[in-house]
Structure 1
Amino acid sequence: MVASSLSMQDGNSTPVQDIEKQAESIESQYKPHPNGLISLLKHPKWYQRFLDTGAEENGIKPVPLSQRTNRQYSNLFTMFFTCLLCLLPIPTGMLATLVFGMGLRDSALVILFFAMITCIPPAFMATGGANTGLRQQVQARYSFGLYLVTIPLLLNAATVTGFSLVSAIVGGQAIASLNPDNVSVNVGIVIVSLISFAASFMGYKALHFWERWTWIPSLISLVIAVGCGGKYLHLQSDVPPSTAPQVLSYGGLIAGYFLTFGGTVSDYSVYHDPNGASKLKIFTYTYLGFFLPSVPLLILGAAIGGAVPQVPTWSAAYAATGVGGVFASMLAPVGGFGKFVVVLLALSVVGNIAISMYSVALNLQMLLPPLARVPRFVFTVVVFAVMIPLSVKAAERWEASLENFLALIGYYAGCFDAVLIVEMLVFRRMDFETYDHAIWNVGRKLPTGLAAMGASVISFGLVVPGMAEVWYTGPIAETTGDIGFELAFVVTALFYVPLRWLEIRIRGHL
């Protein structure tokens, strides 16, 4: 009856049919791609072919629930296990004995204790990726707002790039150690950065595939290296018992090492099905992915650092090509096979650099609203182009660069992690539906960010007196050692609660 009354007298189609045809016309402009995303057909042919290989098209846009279908939750473990089962933790561990003058036993206890505690915040934050479908820095908009989030965004990009630099330097040192007369560290940096760029370029699926399997040669190589050179590890420097300032200052470096994952951790779980695993399971996989590879390698680094002054060949190798040189010296007794293992060790950092490039590219895409329309891989190219000259420069004084970098990032990471965790627990009560996808890019609907930024700034009233750096030691730190990251986390959390409550009362919504 309705269709009959709407039909036209000249026999043309009905208005209902016209609407259906228009809908079909609009729908025909879209098609599904292998990566499960919807994309316009208007892509250039070369870009379309790139997407057809399975490359990730989506950048920072929220992933709807219908596209969060990955139930392979174990790759949340392998993602971080592989990226940290490399040479990167070794120089961080070496700082305990070489720079801070601690004994191996004290170093190991500090590493173990601080790792147990500081792996918790980023692992907890990982539950937000699958449950919200939002990248980590996009989630931060629901606390810091659309505009003020630029500050933690830039700090996070600098932090992640810093870790990439350290990884590239260590990998470059390992390659250079094979033929130090003809191959410079700079050449090694370029080699490992190029391979990392290739792994990161394709995006989410390629990264998870790479991280799922490449831990195997890395683990075998590390075991062989320790088996060949471990007989010298007992030759530790004789040092007095560690003081409280030494313990807390080095503990702050360990905190910086782990807490900074809070700025990126959800980037690698936004396509996982939130209904297929409990939050506890996601937390556990992520926590173990951080803890299991890092703690043994940090302790191994402390042992190597304590033995370097006592083993002349290691000392000479360290002076020439850093950590890579020490491993080359450890593997020298097995000749050509040892050089092959050194190459594998150099390539172990690829997984770490690749995920760093991926997250920094996403951060750059968030800087200005128009950049969200630029393909993600373009920013990966930018990160690659910037990283190489920075790595070369940092390699000139890489040990000092590493110490200063790890110390400073712990302060920022403590503030950032505290804000996002309090937001999740106190104000959103773990209800991830409150992270409304409709407002992810709408400044007037998101928080102003004044509460988050205000709490972070206030915390530095105590962080600065609690800092202990080469260039500055605060009055509190003169007695206690560096307690900056602890103060940053606790004070930010305490002040964020009343400030955010006031913001909600004034604006009338989250």
Structure 2
Amino acid sequence: MDRSSSSSHDKEKFADEAAVQHPDLDAHVHVADVSKAKAKEERPEAYYVERFGRFGPFLEKMFASGVEARGVERVPEDQRTMKNAWNNLLMWWSVNCVLTTIPIGVLAQEFYTLTLPHAIAVIFCFGALGGVFTAFIATLGPKTGMRTMIIARYSSGYVGGMIYSVLNILTQLGFSTTCVILGGQTLASINPGTLPLVVGIIIVGVSSLIPCFVGYNLVHVYERYAWLVTTLIMLFLYGLGGKAGYSVGAQKPLEDKGRNLAGDVLSFGGIVFGSFTGWAPVAADYNCRLPSSISSTRVFLLTFLGLFIPITFVEILGAALMTIQSPAYPAAFASGGTGGLLAQTLSPWGGFGKFLLTLLALSVVANNIPNTYSAGLSAQALGRPFAAIPRALWTLAAFAAYTVAGVVGREHFSTILSNFLAILGYWTAFFVVIVAEEHYIFRRKGGLLGGYDLDVYDDFGRLPMGLAGIFAGCCGVAGAVVGMAEVWYVGPIGRKIGEFGGDLGFELAAAFAAITFPPLRWLEIKYTGR
């Protein structure tokens, strides 16, 4: 008997013995499932090659060339390293110091008529809150070796994790859609009439796909350096805008007062919060290969600073550019949106300005990479049948979906951005609260569960049932509905703040979930033990 058949015989013997000792369990099936799961964790490339039969040799060559085979499988401790721990700072800096962040600041004047000082105050305050939410999720990556949507199973069960995965897929595709539209708009504005917008969208989409298809290592390599160029361009824009003349009080005659101003602040604040917490459902995806021994404080601070510094820096730039009173600037924005405004700002530098604008348009690739990569992971997190399909193929599907959506919605960028980011803040707020309460109340040392059983992450029968997490999430949705203030709907509480309403959606979503989850989870643990 060869070694492989002997090993198989031993596993079957162990399973049979376990079944005799525990007749209420199908030990044979359980041991076989655990064995397969462990094998997939250790060598995911071998699993896919064997599973896909005649396509196996193609996959083997693909993995051998550097394409990441690992998807949502837990990263074993012996395959993790402290190398490049600073990526938590540099990656998020590159991801957010990009063209896509500028229009968020532009919305302060475009939709909410806030003066520059008020816009800056909102960006700082709501941004700090959103940064804390996302940085907390990032700390769970090294602790567990898992992707974010898998970690969600420990508070909301297998089914709850599937629900969050669907929400996250929509979130990442939404982000990607805004990325490719804005990048395409900017490329098209460099030499108007020469490059169709649709072609610009496709160029940005394809450029984003390549590192995501290859996987984790190339994603980090790209993001480790992309911030250098984009930060320099943002400084150029600040300087050229200053030369054109910022007007701090430009919006003063138009700015609302009293309750209406409060409504504007809350609504814009919700958008800023969403621009930070939009990364929470993917934050653990990019450091799950760091060892569990790394300091959580270090991970938290590096992630927080990697988000807070570039996002506030660039959103304030967008708000500042909208205060320039020279007639050419408002006219450029009216005809070409944010891309037109940036083209006008760089126009004094002629050909070099167009070169910088091209680089700025392509900077959205850095922003779009985590969207595309994590959309594929979230598709795998929908369940075992989905995880059986290689991550790289899901990445291709995500690219196709958001590129088509970008082409279809290319004429409605500002509307898509404002509505999408506000809604995004609602579900990410209650998602983070539920995960945090599970972590600090029930999984802490001395808590009811005393930690994470990392071996059960894909075991429906040993994970929490998820009833508490799902119901608390529904309560979070209810909080968002009564507090939201969108163009298409204003909730009864949101309606009380100003003439057009003030958005309290994410605050109430978080509060409703925070109140309901702990007692429900306590009952769930008491009666189910998990």
TM-score (norm 2): 0.86
Aligned to 1:478: 495
Give the CA deviation at 1:36. 8.6
- Alignment counterpart, residue 252 of structure 2, candidates 222, 238, 253: 238
- Alignment counterpart, residue 391 of structure 1, candidates 406, 411, 419: 406
Structure 1 spans left out of the alignment, 5+ residues: 1-14
User: Distance between the aligned counterparts of 1:471 and 1:332, measured in 2?
Assistant: 37
Matches within 5 A, 1:104-253: 104-235=116-247, 236-239=250-253, 240=255, 243-253=261-271
One-letter amino acid of the structure 2 residue matched with residue 245 of structure 1: G
Aligned to 2:298: 281
- Change over 3 Å in CA distance of 1:122–1:21 after alignment to 2: same
What secondary structure, in the 3-state scheme, does the structure 2 residue paired with 1:501 have? Answer: helix
- Alignment counterpart, residue 527 of structure 2, candidates 489, 506, 510: 506
Residues 454-475 of structure 1, C-alpha deviation per residue, up to 9 Å, x if partnerless?
1121234433221111112222
Residues 130-169 of structure 1, C-alpha deviation per residue, up to 9 Å, x if partnerless?
1101100000111111123222211111111111111211
Give the CA deviation at 1:227. 2.4
Give the CA deviation at 1:320. 3.2
What secondary structure, in the 3-state scheme, does the structure 2 residue paired with 1:247 have? Answer: helix
- Alignment counterpart, residue 470 of structure 2, candidates 453, 459, 471: 453
Aligned to 1:434: 451
One-letter amino acid of the structure 1 residue matched with residue 283 of structure 2: V
Give the CA deviation at 1:237. 3.3
More divergent stretch after superposition (280-289 vs 50-59): 50-59
Aligned to 2:91: 79
Give the CA deviation at 1:19. 6.3
Give the CA deviation at 1:377. 0.5
Q: RMSD across aligned C-alpha pairs, in angstroms?
A: 2.4
Residues 213-248 of structure 1, C-alpha deviation per residue, up to 9 Å, x if partnerless?
111111122222332333234133333465211111
Aligned to 2:30: none
- Change over 3 Å in CA distance of 1:503–1:180 after alignment to 2: same
2:291 is aligned with 1:270 = no
What secondary structure, in the 3-state scheme, does the structure 2 residue paired with 1:465 have? Answer: helix
One-letter amino acid of the structure 2 residue matched with residue 244 of structure 1: A
- Change over 3 Å in CA distance of 1:379–1:495 after alignment to 2: same
Say whether the 8 Å CA contact 1:170–1:322 is kept in structure 2: no
Aligned to 1:306: 323
2:430 is aligned with 1:415 = yes
User: Distance between the aligned counterparts of 1:24 and 1:140, measured in 2?
Assistant: 33
Give the CA deviation at 1:408. 1.1
Aligned to 2:372: 357
- Change over 3 Å in CA distance of 1:215–1:133 after alignment to 2: same
Give the CA deviation at 1:182. 2.1
Give the CA deviation at 1:438. 2.4
Say whether the 8 Å CA contact 1:96–1:102 is kept in structure 2: yes
Structure 2 spans left out of the alignment, 5+ residues: 11-35
Aligned to 2:32: none
Give the CA deviation at 1:497. 0.3
User: Distance between the aligned counterparts of 1:163 and 1:139, measured in 2?
Assistant: 22
Say whether the 8 Å CA contact 2:45–2:63 is kept in structure 1: no
One-letter amino acid of the structure 1 residue matched with residue 282 of structure 2: T
TM-score (norm 1): 0.90
Say whether the 8 Å CA contact 1:176–1:321 is kept in structure 2: no
User: Distance between the aligned counterparts of 2:478 and 2:210, measured in 1?
Assistant: 43
Say whether the 8 Å CA contact 1:94–1:306 is kept in structure 2: no
- Alignment counterpart, residue 335 of structure 1, candidates 339, 343, 350: 350
What secondary structure, in the 3-state scheme, does the structure 1 residue paired with 2:482 have? Answer: coil
- Change over 3 Å in CA distance of 1:433–1:69 after alignment to 2: farther
Give the CA deviation at 1:119. 0.7
Aligned to 1:317: 332
One-letter amino acid of the structure 2 residue matched with residue 353 of structure 1: N
2:120 is aligned with 1:99 = no
Residues 246-291 of structure 1, C-alpha deviation per residue, up to 9 Å, x if partnerless?
111111111111122221100001111121x211000000000110
What secondary structure, in the 3-state scheme, does the structure 2 residue paired with 1:145 have? Answer: helix
One-letter amino acid of the structure 2 residue matched with residue 501 of structure 1: W
What secondary structure, in the 3-state scheme, does the structure 1 residue paired with 2:99 have? Answer: coil
User: Distance between the aligned counterparts of 1:19 and 1:356, measured in 2?
Assistant: 43
User: Distance between the aligned counterparts of 1:462 and 1:347, measured in 2?
Assistant: 38
Give the CA deviation at 1:477. 1.4
User: Distance between the aligned counterparts of 1:295 and 1:284, measured in 2?
Assistant: 16
What secondary structure, in the 3-state scheme, does the structure 1 residue paired with 2:69 have? Answer: coil
2:513 is aligned with 1:492 = yes
